[in-house]
Structure 1
Amino acid sequence: MRAVDIILRKRDGAKLSPEEISFFIRHYLQGSIADYQVSALLMAIYFQGMDAKETAALTEALVNSGETLDFSGFLRPVGDKHSTGGVGDKTTLVLLPLVAAKGMTMAKMSGRGLGHTGGTIDKLACIPGFRTDLSRREFMAQVKELGVAVMGQSPEMTPADGQLYALRDVTATVDSIPLIASSVMSKKIAAGAGTIVLDVKAGSGAFMQDAEEARQLAEAMVDIGSVLGRKTVALITDMDQPLGHAVGNHLEVAEAIETLQGHGPADLRELSLELGAELLAGSGIMEDRHQAKKSLQESLSDGSALEMFRRFVTAQGGDAGVADDLSLLGSSPHRLTLTAPQNGYIGRLDARTVGNAAVLSGAGREKKGDDIDLLAGIRLYKKRGEKVQAGEVLAEVSGSHRDKLQAALEKLSDAYSFSEKPPAPQSLIIERVAK
C-alpha cells in the first residue's frame, strides 16, 4: 500500500477503505508519510468528500492514534456533550451538575476559548482555587467517586487530529464537513462516553452560519456515532444572538450559577434542560425525553443540581462558596454603558459582533497563547424582540483595562439594529437530528 495511490484514489472520487485510511494516519504519525502528501489528501477530501463509512473510519483512526479512556467497569452510564461554539454559551457549567445529580456520569475534557467563542477551561478558572490540570489518575478517580469531572484536553489523546488540524489550518481545508465531524467525534469517542449529545450552533455567531450547513455537520457526526456504537443525538440551535445575557468568563460563570439556583435566563435554562433530557433518555436512565426534562426541572427547583455543583467545585479544589456568593468570582473595576439611540424594538442583536466586542474588552483571545482578562465581558440587558425607549440601557461593557472598553463599546453598538415593529420570533432549537 502506498500513500500516493491512496491520494490518487480519493482525488478521482473513489471511496477509501478503513484499511487505507488507517494505513495513512498510522504512517503519517510514524513520520513515513510527509506533510505534503497529507496536505494533498486533505485537499482531495475537501473536494471529493467522504461518505458515512469513510468518515467513521477516519474518526476511528484518529481515536486509535493515541490514548483513550475506558469506563466499561462503571456502574453509571457515561455521557458527554459537545458544542460547536457560540457567544455566551455556558451550558456545560449548568449541564454537568444537572445530569450528574440524576445519576449520569459526565467525564468532560474541555479546551480554552479562541476568537469570539469562549472556552469552558477559561470559565472555570474564574472560580478561586479550581483546578483543571488533573492527572489522568485524578480525573478517573473523581469521575468514579463523584460522577462528574472536567480537565483540560490531553495531548496524548487523538494526537493525529492535532497534527491534521495544523495542516488544515494552513491549507484552506478547515471547513470540510467530513474533516470537522471526524475531528470533533474522535475526541468524544476517545473520551469514553457511551451517550453523546451535540449542540450544533447555526447563525451569525456560529462556525456554521448557515442552517443547512449546520444540518449537514450534525448528520455527519450522528452518523459517526451510530457506526461506532455510540448513542448520538444533535440539536441544531440558534446562534444569531448570544445565549443568555452574559458574555465573558466570570459573568458567564455567575449566570450559570444563577441558573442552577433556579433563576437565570430562559434560553440558557431551556437549552440546558433539552440537552440534559437527551442525555438521560439516550442512556436509558429515563424512559423518554419528556420524563427526563421534568425530572431535571425538579433538580433545579429542589436544589440538588446546585448541591452537585458545590461538590464538583470542592472536588477540584475550588471555593464552593461561589454557589451562594457570586461576589467571590470578583468584579470588574471599569464599566461603560450602551444606551438605545431611539424608540422601537430590537430587530437584531448580532452574536458575532457581540463576541468580537467581548474580545476587544479583553475577554477573548485573537490567537492561541494570548492572555485574557477573566473579569472582562458584556452584560446584555435587552435582546432581540424587546421594546426599548431612547436613552434606555441596552448593555454594559466591563473589564480591568479602561482603555479597552471604548473600542469594545463602539463595536457592541454595531450589533444592535432597531425596527418599528417587533421581529418575527426565532426558535432556540431549530432541529433535532438522530438516527
Structure 2
Amino acid sequence: MLPQEIIRRKRDGETLRREEIEFFVAGMTDGRITEGQVAAFAMAVLWRGMDLEERVALTEAMRDSGEVLRWDLGGPVADKHSTGGVGDCVSLVLGPLVAACGVFVPMISGRGLGHTGGTLDKLEAIPGYRTDPEEALFRRVVAEAGVAIIGQTAELAPADRRMYAVRDVTATVESIDLITASILSKKLAAGLECLVMDVKTGNGAFMVELEASRKLAESIVQVANGAGVRTSALVTDMNQPLASSAGNAVEVMECVRLLRGEPGSDRLRAVTLELAAELLDLAGIDNPRPRLEDALASGAAAERFGRMTAALGGPADFVERAEG
C-alpha cells in the first residue's frame, strides 16, 4: 500500500478499508508517513468525511498504536470526558464521587484548549500533585482510592499526538470525525468498560453551535459503542460558566467545598450529579441518584478525593484544610 493512494481515495470521496486505515496509522506512529501526508489525509477527511465503519477503524487503530491498559479490579472501570468549557471542573467532583459508589475511574485528562480550562491545569494548582506518575503508581492509586486523574502518557495513543500536532496547524481541528477518533483513542486505551461524554455547547464551549455539538455527541456514542465500550452523551449548556468562579486554584476550591457538602454553584452540582448518575447506570449500579447523594452527604466522595490527592503527591490533609 502507498500512503498517497490512501490519501487520493479519501480525497475523491471513496470509503477506506480497515487495512488501509491501519496501515496509515501505523505509518504515522513509526514515522514512515511524512507530516505533509498526515496533513493531506486530515484535510481529505475534513472535506469528505468518514462513515461509521471508517471512524471505528480509525479510532481502534489509534488506540492500538500504543499501550492499552488492562485492569483486574473488583468493580466496573469507567470514565467521563468533557469537550471543555469555562469553569468546567466537573471531573474533579465526579471522579471521586463515582469511585465512592464502587466504580473505578482511571481518568486520563487534558490541558486547556483555546479559552477552555483543562483538568490537569486545575489539579496542578494543588501543591505537589503529580499529573505524570509512572504507570505502577497510577495503577496503585486507582486500585486503592478508586480514582486517579492524570495526563496522557507517551505510551497511550501516540498516533493521536502526531495527528493532533498536524491538525493544530492545518485548520483541521474542527473535523468531527477526527475529534471523535482523538478523544476516544485515548479513552479506550485506558481500558474502560463504559464512558459518559459531556459535550458542551454555547459561547463558553469549545463547540459553540448546538447542531455541531449534537453531531459530535452522536458520533462519539456511535463509535465508542461500535468499539465495544458502553457509552452515552449529554449535551450541556456552556453559555455561562458552570462554576461560580473561573481560574484553576479557585475552581479546585469550589470543588472541594462541594465535596465537603458546603454551599456552592447549583449548576455545577446539578450537571455533575446528572453525568455521574448516567455513568453509574452504564456501569450497572442500581439506584444511582440516591447513592450519589449519600456519597456526598456522608463525606465518602471527599475522602476519595483526599486519598487520590495524597497518593499523587499532594498534601495529606488538603480536603480538610483547604480554604477558598
Shorter-normalised TM range:
over 0.9
Distance 1:215 1:254 in 2: 31
Of residues 294-303 and 222-231 in structure 1, the stretch that sits farther from structure 2 once superposed is 294-303
Equivalent runs, 1:5-404 vs 2, <5 Å: 5-71=5-71, 73-262=72-261, 263-286=263-286, 291-327=287-323
The aligned residue for residue 380 of structure 1 is: none
Q: Classify the secondary structure of the residue corresponding to 2:168.
A: helix
Q: Per-residue CA shift, 1:173-224, capped at 9, x if unaligned?
A: 1111000111001010011111111110000011110011000001111111
Q: Which has the higher strand share?
A: 1
List, as ranges, runs of 4+ consecutive aligned residues in structure 1 with deviation greater than 4 Å.
none
CA shift, 1:11, in A, is 1.4
Q: Deviations over 1:243-281 (max 9, x none)?
A: 020100111011001111223211111111111111111
Deviations 1:35-92 (A, max 9, x none): 2222222111111100111011001111111112111x22210111111010001111
Task: Give secondary structure in 1 for the equivalent of 2:233.
Answer: strand
Percent identity over paired residues:
50
1:13 Cα offset (Å): 1.2
1:244–1:160: structure 2 CA closer, same or farther, 3 Å change rule?
A: same
Asked if the contact 2:69/2:190 (under 8 Å) is kept, the reply is yes
- Larger RCO: Structure 1 or Structure 2 (Cα < 8 Å, ≥ 6 residues apart)? 2
Hey, what's the Cα distance between the residues in 2 that align with 1:205 and 1:153?
Answer: 24
Deviations 1:293-315 (A, max 9, x none): 12101211122211222222222
Please state whether the residue corresponding to 1:36 is helix, strand or coil: helix
| DSSP 3-state at the match of 1:133 | coil
Offset of 1:146 from its aligned partner? 2.3
- Contact kept? 2:81, 2:196, Cα under 8 Å: yes
Q: Distance in 2 between matches of 1:48 and 1:114?
A: 25
RMSD, matched Cα: 1.4
Q: Does the aligned pair in 1 maintain the 2:141–2:308 contact within 8 Å?
A: no
For residues 354-409 of structure 1, what are the alpha-carbon distances to aligned partners after superposition, in whole Å with 9 as ceiling and x for unaligned? xxxxxxxxxxxxxxxxxxxxxxxxxxxxxxxxxxxxxxxxxxxxxxxxxxxxxxxx
Q: What is the rounded CA distance, in whole Å, between the counterparts of 1:46 and 1:126 in structure 2?
A: 37
Secondary structure of the corresponding residue to residue 232 of structure 1? strand
SS of the residue 1:107 aligns to: strand
Q: Which amino acid aligns with 2:270?
A: E
Q: Secondary structure at the match of 2:199?
A: strand
More helix by share: 2
Structure 1, unaligned runs of 5 or more: 330-435
* Cα distance, 1:297–1:23 mapped onto 2, change above 3 Å: same
SS in 1 for 2:81: strand
Q: 1: CA distance between counterparts of 2:208 and 2:151?
A: 27
CA separation in 2, counterparts of 1:299 and 1:261? Answer: 10
TM-score normalized with structure 1 length: 0.72
- CA spacing shift, 1:244–1:30, aligned 2, 3 Å: closer
Cα deviation, 1:110-134, whole Å, max 9, x if unaligned, reads: 2222432212222122223322231
User: 2-side partners of 1:91 and 1:320: how far apart?
Assistant: 22
Q: What secondary structure, in the 3-state scheme, does the structure 2 residue paired with 1:246 have? A: coil
Higher mean displacement: 123-132 or 96-105: 123-132
Shift in CA distance, 226/324, structure 1 to aligned 2, threshold 3 Å? same
Q: TM-score, normalization: structure 2? A: 0.96
Q: Is the 8 A contact 2:28 2:162 kept in 1?
A: no
1:24 and 1:129 map into 2 onto residues whose CA distance is 40
SS of residue matched to 1:198: strand
AA aligned opposite 2:290 = K
Could you report, residue by residue, the CA deviation over 1:136-172 in whole angstroms, capped at 9, with x for unpaired residues?
1111122122211122211221111111111112221
One-letter code of the match for 1:160? A
Q: For structure 2, which runs of at least 5 residues remain unmatched after alignment?
A: none
Q: 1:24 and 1:125 mapped to 2: Cα distance?
A: 36
| Aligned-partner Cα distance in 2 for 1:18–1:77 | 30
